Amino acid sequence: MVAGAVTALTVALAATVPAGEASAIPLVGAAPTAPEGIGLPAGYVPPPPTYGVGLDLGQVIPLSDGTQLTATVRYPTDPSTGQRAAGPFPVIVDYTTYIGLSGVLTAAVTGAVRGALDALHVRLPDNVQDLDRIVGQATSAQDALVRRGYLEVVVDVRGTGSSTGAWNPASPTDGADGMQVVDWAAKLPNSSGKVGMFGYSFPGVSAMLTAGHSRPNSPLQAMMMFTVPNDVFKHAVSHDGMFSPVLLTVLIPAIQAMSAVAPLLNLPLTPQVAVQALIDHVRAALASPDTPLAKLVDGFGNGTYGHKDAWWSDRDFEPILHNFVDNDIPTYFVDGIWDLYQDGAFQNYAQLQNLAAGRPQFAPMDPGQRTDPRFQLLQGPWYHVGMGAGPYARMDTDPITIAWFDHWLKGVDNGIDRTSRTLHLIDQTGAGANTTAYPFAEARPTTLRLGAGTLGAASTGAPDRLAYSPVENPCNRDNFEQWTAGALQMALNLLNVNDPCAAAEIVGPPSGIAYLGDPVSEPTLVAGPANLHTYLSSTTDDAALQVHLDDVASDGGAAEITGGAQLATLRTLDDAKTWRTADGTVYSAEHRLSSADITALRPGDVVPVDIRLRPTYYRLEAGHRLRVRVTTGNFPTTMAPLPEIPKLIGSTVQIVHDPQHPSSLTVPLAPATALHP
């Protein structure tokens, strides 16, 4: 019955929603496979799993200020006896806000099911295997490592799960606590004294903060980071002044709700700690005037937490990245071109490589710069909860994790430390490439002028006017996948279906003002960050802008490549971080987003505004065109701060593109053969 329903659904989708040429893959069908071995040394094969998994539940880690963190230790067992294996073993720390015990229990159940199926020689479908792997990674249970000779410590962050104290999201305190956890883990029985950290999303944020608080000769000697930002405020909260409400509106209440339930799960194991944790969590969530929920409401209201002032600056990774280099903490990043933190991994990679080379941290990497293999990045066509999953290019990311930790924590000579091309890329067609510098040396920033509905060599035509609306055609990649973490696509993967709202335009005409370029003459990569330099005026003292960069096929079908947003009152560039070509053209804008940087527009005055388009790695087929679309909002995933909306309603933005005001798109383009010979 279920199989029949799935077949009926897929046939219906195929019949009613035909894929245009711009779709990289069909709307229905198994996902293609990523290039074999990408991101790994040539010929690498991971060692087979040789151990079982045992649990030490109810562990308590005492911190120096009296806070108690709850933890579970997972350890290798002898599969023939079930007894604890001799060791010693390196330790992997998963430092989570998502109830560590629930992940441990989930892993125990799925592991038992997997074992039973293996005994029956039943192989799970690829898409189910992907889901199983990603659930384990996201819930901090790395069976692939424990079964290959690692201890694993799954720890609840202060004020979450069953740990005592008050939760202060992504705070420096989490980093200081994390170093105490690392020291505790290094001294476990059967530990080799070497510690690595694994983190997927928020647990990755906690790990990054921990490494930022490291010291010379620390036990922390390697990190594996999936989907982490570089600037938490800019990449998770505010898209250059435009608020991104969905993630935090769901995440913060969810973590606080989980933290009210988790102590009850842990009550039989650590009753005194669990009772104190429940008291602390309820007090922090309800009794304190400065709760995470109160901060969220303040941010919605464009208050203290709606700008990158002191509170958010304390959570910025940029000032602490030097510790990764200074204290020798090799770190491998895995991320997606449609992740929530789309530019985070690229920035982390480039800044670490620059610091390792003794270059200015925020500069573009030098095209000929020799890279440090301690810092590597795999970037693929994935959403937040789907690293290595379909529908564009599926791959098992566990071998990378195994190879990385085996070398840096066990001393295995598998070649991953000798990789000369440390930046690994997969486009939406499944083609892969290995390179070094970011921005990509092979891609040339190309400037195309906005004209009368065109992108080309000249700025022509009358100004375009755009009436403010917080809503555009809701069927788009931003709303249905990127800013909702790809949760819908992860579910659709089980049906081998590509979300049609992400893959193509299927409902009504595209929103906003559109500027269409000429067809490309050969397969072309859009590779790196882009910038829309506009001259605009508004009938009020602010303007809200949402930009989409699209791939338009010869048959008119289109798919979104990347995008950006900008609140005009926060248009001031951060010159130290903004990247320009030799002639001064901005191709990667960085804005100053503090409350002190608010600069009102004068109604009717034409001013330059740069809109940063998030970096991508996307293939245009021959005959396809680039299209820029400008709207004024994309509710519910991108919107102006709430206090700005009343004055924006009824306002009009004018985009000027004449010879005196040459509005333009600067986008990095390269022949596909430059990276895919």
Tell me the per-residue pLDDT of 394-431, one tens digit each, with 9 for 90 and over.
999 999 999 999 999 999 999 999 999 999 999 999 99
> What is the Cα 261 distance to its own chain's centre?
28
**Tens digits of residue pLDDT in 142-155:** 999 999 999 999 99
pLDDT confidence band for 507 (50 / 70 / 90): low
Q: State yes or no: pLDDT of 365 exceeds 60.
A: yes
Nearest CA to 115 among 85, 138, 147, 149? Answer: 147
> What is the Cα 286 distance to its own chain's centre?
31
- Predicted confidence at residue 677, as pLDDT, reads 63
3-state DSSP assignment of residue 456:
strand
Q: State yes or no: pLDDT of 41 exceeds 70.
A: yes
- Predicted confidence at residue 14, as pLDDT, reads 32
**Count of beta carbons in the 10 Å neighbourhood of residue 138:** 20
- Region 337-364: mean pLDDT is 96
**Tokens linked to 312:** 């958010």
Cβ within 8 Å of residue 498, ≥6 positions away: 19, 23, 25, 26, 27, 28, 390, 391, 489, 492
Q: State yes or no: pLDDT of 183 exceeds 70.
A: yes
Q: State yes or no: pLDDT of 527 exceeds 50.
A: yes
Give strand ranges (E) for 455-543.
455-456, 464-467, 513-516, 524-538
Q: What angle (nearest 5°) sits at the alpha carbon of residue 204, between those of residues 203 and 207? A: 90
Distance between CA atoms of residues 564 and 239, nearest Å = 7
**Tens digits of residue pLDDT in 229-281:** 999 899 888 899 999 888 788 888 888 888 888 898 889 999 999 999 999 99
C-beta of residue 304 within 8 angstroms of C-beta of residue 310: no
Strand partners of residue 515: 628
3-state DSSP assignment of residue 304:
helix
Cβ within 8 Å of residue 147, ≥6 positions away: 49, 50, 51, 52, 53, 76
Please, what CATH class does the domain formed by 444-472+506-671 belong to?
mainly beta
- Predicted confidence at residue 120, as pLDDT, reads 80
- Candidate from 44-48, 102-106, 270-274, 499-503 with smallest mean pLDDT: 102-106
Cβ within 8 Å of residue 50, ≥6 positions away: 79, 147, 148, 149
**Tokens linked to 242:** 């435009």
Rounded (10°) angle between helices 100-119 and 245-266: 80
- Region 575-591: mean pLDDT is 97
Q: State yes or no: pLDDT of 17 exceeds 80.
A: no
Radius of gyration of the chain from its Cα atoms, rounded to whole angstroms: 25
3-state DSSP assignment of residue 527:
strand
Distance between CA atoms of residues 469 and 513, nearest Å = 13
Higher-scoring residue by pLDDT: 16, 21: 21
Residue 406: how many CA atoms within 13 Å on its side-chain side?
25
Q: What angle (nearest 5°) sits at the alpha carbon of residue 122, between those of residues 116 and 127? A: 105
- Region 83-94: mean pLDDT is 96
CATH number, domain 90-101+157-435? 3.40.50
> Would you say how long the chain is, in residues?
677
Nearest CA to 138 among 226, 215, 237, 72? Answer: 226
C-beta of residue 18 within 8 angstroms of C-beta of residue 4: no
The domain ranges of the chain are: 90-101+157-435, 444-472+506-671
Percent of the chain scored above 90 by pLDDT? 74
Distance between CA atoms of residues 92 and 261, nearest Å = 26
C-beta of residue 336 within 8 angstroms of C-beta of residue 345: no
**Tokens linked to 125:** 């479908």
Distance between CA atoms of residues 258 and 263, nearest Å = 9
Rounded (10°) angle between helices 172-186 and 202-212: 80
Rounded (10°) angle between helices 245-266 and 292-300: 170
Distance between CA atoms of residues 610 and 588, nearest Å = 9
Q: State yes or no: pLDDT of 157 exceeds 60.
A: yes
